[in-house]
Chain A
């Protein structure tokens, strides 16, 4: 079965065009970061991208509008906003979920809302190498469609090597669920993507995709295509 490629983009005015370029390069799912001023789970690349986006006025309503525009441009691609709890707290938890769905969101990721908190909010859950088996089960039982495997103890951002913790995490998650497992954090090169996808069902690439996106849609498409080729080889 073909491996799933998830690409993360920070929501900005160029997002609809960039998302189309990512899909043209072979992305199956696009995550749209709704920027937060104090993103604890993120390393320097995504943090700086969030600062820039906020300086350009990318607040919740503007992000939802760009999500709707992206949805219009990409009717069939799963689109997943990824953000932090403070945005939902301010907007209203259920209202955020409803308005995101109305704007075309397929699901939702909240980086600082661990499984078990706010169970009424349907979302994609994350598990990490530090998660206990009990927490992996809880996340698997409540997740929305797929499980996000955080490959490293650490924040988002490129690493030199694929985390050695991924294999054990995949094994433990498999024994908890038959749902697809997509691995992210620290996956930036085609080689790492191929190695991670040999274990999991797909990969999420964020920081390095953002850097390609800053150079424009052509660079992003080419970068995503290089990941796609590695996954399909």
Chain B
């Protein structure tokens, strides 16, 4: 079972253990099967729009060579589709006809609804009522794609509770259903599986930076909620010890910055929690970062010192959003706006930023705060 140092593991009710074993076996078999890689590659290139470009943002960061890895240009508007396509292929191999997913910002929910439409699978997405309010367009998109969106109206009414409800659904339906988790969180093998499916971001970006600049970036920066776009980008550079890896959390949801070891959603990780192990509420303007946990691999990378984690406030993210819009003609999602905020004041010249998604879904929230 995959673990990241002392983090990760499989803290789930017994009912799910056989399904996780089956998933792990199916995943290993898929990885060893050329047909799986061929199918995934074909979907990523002919359906999703890979490779995504690298854009030099000269007006946004004068005096630097700041490149944006444009996952916002991927079909459905965020990096989430890389993972959803891979897991849909896996669900098909496992003979599962029903997909259950959680979503915060709605980007993963849209990606899940999209692949379910593409593969003819039934799709149920759990979403907190607070997130349904602030990410309305994505709720409508999921419904148009044929997914059922189930509101979660208790607790924080955000991603934490949506994830718990998706897992509870899976416990009751595990024999027919695949849980399409949206980030590198959850019980093993999910964190490893999602990281592997997202690592295409980092592989592409490394080649693209080398082609453009003839050298590796000094720093690679991405926002971290659960951490899937960051781990996907970081994995391209983990072996390049001279490249700084920087994760940016929302200041009110800094699981790595202010968390402590706890168990949430099936894994031991660094979690916003109290001294008794009770999970605390997170707060962020960005629904995708508004989560008290984080993928166990990030906790491991923090402890080993390979990656550093810092924070950006709501106000800093909003300012970076406006500046990128006005200087480059790109509306980023609020999530990567946190990474943009820290990238500008970084003491480095050649910088790679993960632009994980586009900002259309956030317009109402941003306009309300002007």
- Identify the A interface with B (CB < 8 A): 36-38, 40-41, 43, 47-48, 51, 54, 59-61, 84-91, 111-115, 117, 125-132, 135, 139, 150, 152-155
Contact = CB atoms under 8 A, between A and B. Distances in A.
Interface stretch (B216-224, B276-284, B320-328): B276-284
A84 B279 CA distance: 12
Contact of B263 (A112, A114, A139): A112
Interface stretch (B127-135, B164-172, B198-206, B358-366): B164-172
Contact of A153 (B10, B172, B273, B277): B172
A112 B17 contact: no
B174 A130 contact: yes
B313 interface: no
Contacts of B268: 85, 89
A119 to B, nearest CB: 13
Contacts of A37: 155, 278-279
Contact of A60 (B13, B262, B265, B277): B277
A114 B14 contact: yes
Contacts of A117: 9-11
B275 A111 contact: no
9 closest Cβ pairs, A-B complex: A90-B277, A86-B277, A154-B172, A86-B263, A128-B15, A59-B276, A85-B263, A41-B13, A87-B277
B303 to A, nearest CB: 16
Contact of B17 (A38, A48, A59, A114): A114
A150 B171 CA distance: 12
B277 A128 contact: no
Interface of A is mostly: loop
Interface residues of B, number: 38
Given A85-B11, A114-B12, A114-B14, A130 B276 contact: no
Given A90-B262, A117-B9, A135 B14 contact: yes
A130 B164 CA distance: 20
B175 interface: yes
Given A38-B164, A89-B277, A130-B19, A154 B12 contact: no
B156 to A, nearest CB: 10
Contacts of B265: 38, 40
Contacts of B18: 130-132, 135
Contact of A112 (B266, B273, B279): B266
Nearest to B280: A37
A117 B17 CA distance: 11
A38 B160 contact: yes
Contact of A131 (B17, B154, B172): B17
Contact of A135 (B17, B171, B261): B17
Contacts of B274: 59, 90
22 contacts: A38-B264, A40-B12, A41-B171, A59-B278, A84-B263, A85-B263, A86-B277, A89-B261, A90-B260, A90-B274, A90-B275, A114-B13, A117-B10, A128-B13, A128-B15, A130-B15, A130-B16, A135-B17, A150-B15, A153-B171, A153-B172, A155-B171
A43 B174 CA distance: 16
A91 B17 CA distance: 25
Given A36-B278, A91-B276, A153 B12 contact: no
Interface in B1-27: 9-19
A135 B268 CA distance: 22
Contacts of A54: 278
Contact of B14 (A59, A61, A150): A150
B259 to A, nearest CB: 12
Contacts of A131: 14-15, 17-18
Nearest to A128: B15
A40 B265 CA distance: 8
